[in-house]
Structures are given as structure tokens and as C-alpha cells.
Amino acid sequence: MDLNLLGLFVTVAETGSFSEAARRLGLPKSSVSRGVASLEASLGTQLLHRTTRHVSLSTAGAALYERAAPLLASLKEAVGTLPEREEAPSGELRLTAPHDMGATFLPEVIARFTTRYPSVRIDCRLTNRNVDLVAEGFDLALRASGAKLADSSLVVRRLSPIEVQLFASPTYLARRGTPRAPEDLAHHDIVAFRGLKYLGEIGISEKNARVLADDMFFLREAVKAGSGIAILPTFLAQAEVTSGQLVRVLPRYTHASTSLVMLYPRTQHVPRKVSAFRDFLLEFLKGRPLSTAPAGG
């Protein structure tokens, strides 16, 4: 029996989909379908029931999967004890990230990564919602998080601290005055990111905000337009501080820290394309820390 074909069958059985199995394996869907059909022909029995929307195990398929899955897992474990041979990553890497990361440092990361690893194709989806990686078929997510994530089905790797600071426009401060202490913020208009709580010495949260939004770019533009004072990642406000469009407020006070984290599904063996992207991003951030505050203000 061809173990490669058996592996295709087990992956289809576990994902319930030829498309998802193909994505996970980095193969064309047609190759996976032909491989399973070839295995069925060699065994002389139908292993899968196929419909236009779903794939399910036949009685014979369920019996084969019950025995084959642990055997293949044991074989992979045995192979894993051998000295590793570093293979170049390949296939499609599906990742998701917030809009602010997608329009600042992430394009350069992807450009350099695909130059180093030309066999990898990137599918990058920018969204501010928390994507269900497993249900929606993503390999990894980049997020800003200041809290411990409780989903045990995901691996969470902290990549870099992200410095956040208070910012306002010169026109707003000229009109309303510049806060000298955290308690002065009670007399100012606050622009805040929905769902995030900022503790530290400042105590800004969505509860005391005049303007709420779920997009950091909107917050930055609202502050530039004079809507109030907001906490922003310093990497997102650096150009505006340099140009004089924004200034830092209460720079001597600390804010709750947050981090850039990478999340990916917990599996026995991390796909090479995922580990390669993780390591590449760590290398990239060593020279460009997201905790560097902008000059001025």
C-alpha cells in the first residue's frame, strides 16, 4: 500500500474536505482527489461518500481511518526522531492581520520573505476581527494582544513589544489645553479603540471615550482632525509626529503594554512554511522594534 495515498486519505477524513486537505498539504485539489480514488481502486472499496458540499467516511473508510491514523502518526513521530533535514518551505501560506499592520511593516516583511522563499505563495487577509483560524482555514494570524489568550487549540508566540502612547493634534491642544497629569484627561475628549482597556497610569478605556472605533487608522485620522486624544501604537504615529501633525501627550507616564503575537493551530508538527515565516518575522523585528517611540512631541 502506498503510504502517501494513505496520508492523503487520512487528511481528507480529518478535514472533511478535499479543498481543505489540499490547502493543508500544499497540493492541487485534483491531485488529492485522484490520490484517494487511486487508493479506493487499489483496495477495491469506497472509502468516502462525496457530495458537492461535504465528504464523509463510508463504513470501510471509518474502519481504515481508525487504524491508519494512529499508525501514520507513530510513523511521523519515528521519523521526527531522526536528524532533521532543513527543507525549503513551499505551498500557500494563508495569514490574517489587522489593517494597521497590513499598511505599515507587513508588506515589507512579505516582500522579503517571498524573495527568500520563492516557492511560497502568500494569501493575506486584512481584518480587525478575531478570525477563527481552524474554521476558516488560516495558517496563522498576527494580532496585538496585551492579555493571555485562552484558546488552547492555538499556539501563541509573542514576537515583539508594541509601545503605545497618547497623541493629539497641535490644533486640539491649542483649543483645549495640554494635559499635565493623568487626571486632566477627565476634561478632554478621548478617542478610543473599541474593546481595548488601557490601564497603566493613564486609565483610558472605551468607557470614558467620546469617540469609539474598531480601526486604528480611523483613530489616527480622527486625532489628526482634532477629535481628541487617543492611545496609538507609536509605529503608526511616527510619521505624523515627525511632520508635526501629532504630538505626544503625557510622555512621562506609562501605559499598559501590548505585544505583537503570532497565533497558529496547535499540531504535532508545525508546517515548515509557518515556522519559516515565524522565524523570519522574529529576525526582521530585531532590527525594527515596534517599541521604538517616535522623536518629538
Architecture of domain 91-159+260-287: 3-Layer(aba) Sandwich (3.40)
**Helices 29-43 and 18-25, interaxial angle, to 10°?**
110
Q: Distance between CA atoms of 225 and 240, rounded to whole angstroms?
A: 12
Q: Distance between CA atoms of 267 and 41, rounded to whole angstroms?
A: 31
For residue 86, the model assigns a pLDDT of: 61
For domain 164-249, give the CATH superfamily. Answer: Periplasmic binding protein-like II (3.40.190.10)
How far separated are the first and last CA of the chain, in Å rounded?
69
Residue type, 97: A
Main-chain dihedrals φ then ψ at residue 260, nearest 5 degrees: -80, 125
Q: Distance between CA atoms of 216 and 238, rounded to whole angstroms?
A: 14
Looking at residue 185, the DSSP 8-state letter turns out to be G
* Element at 22 (helix H, strand E): helix 18-25
- Give the residue extent of every domain in the chain: 3-80, 91-159+260-287, 164-249
For residue 215, the model assigns a pLDDT of: 87
Q: Distance between CA atoms of 280 and 273, rounded to whole angstroms?
A: 10
Task: Please tell me if the domain spanning 91-159+260-287 has the same topology as the one spanning 164-249.
Answer: yes
For residue 83, the model assigns a pLDDT of: 55
Judge whether 15 and 32 are in contact, CB under 8 Å.
no
Beta strand 164-168 with 91-97 is: unpaired
How would you write the pLDDT of the chain (297 residues) with one tens digit per residue? 678 888 889 999 988 888 888 888 888 888 888 999 999 999 999 999 988 778 899 999 899 999 888 888 888 777 666 655 567 889 999 999 999 888 888 999 999 999 999 999 999 999 988 888 888 889 999 988 755 565 667 888 888 888 888 999 999 999 999 999 888 988 899 998 876 655 455 666 667 788 888 888 999 999 999 999 998 888 889 899 999 999 999 988 766 567 889 999 888 788 999 999 999 999 998 866 665 544 444
Q: Is the domain 3-80 a CATH 3.90.1150.10 member?
A: no
